[in-house]
Amino acid sequence: MTQTEHYHAIAAESSAVPTLLCGHCRSTLSRNRIFHNGEGQTYGINCHTIALCSADDCGALNCCDAALAGLGGAADLISKAS
């Protein structure tokens, strides 16, 4: 089994709306690509909330747990995510 390379999402500073950035390319992570990593750990990383970067030539897998912990409206962001 191969280890999937992943990055840690970053909370955007000075943003009026809770926004996460890709830990690899610093692009904005779309809410529709942020989701819970089910009990089966679908992506093989120990992370509760993950995001897939949709930027061209990136596609990085991001763990969002630490970034979400620092955002005040994080629950709202995840509840709106699919």
Mean pLDDT over 32-40 rounds to 82
Cα gap 49→27, rounded to integer Å? 18
Q: Residue ranges of the domains in the chain?
A: 6-80
Non-local CB neighbours of 53 within 8 Å, separated by 6+ positions? 22, 24, 25, 27, 29, 33, 59, 60, 61, 62
pTM > 0.75: yes
Cα Dmax for the chain: 41
What would the pLDDT profile of 49-71 be if each residue is shown by its tens digit?
Answer: 999 999 988 989 999 999 988 77
Is residue 82 over pLDDT 50?
A: no
Is residue 27 over pLDDT 90?
A: yes
Task: Give the H/E segment covering residue 74.
Answer: helix 74-80
pLDDT of the residue at 55:
92
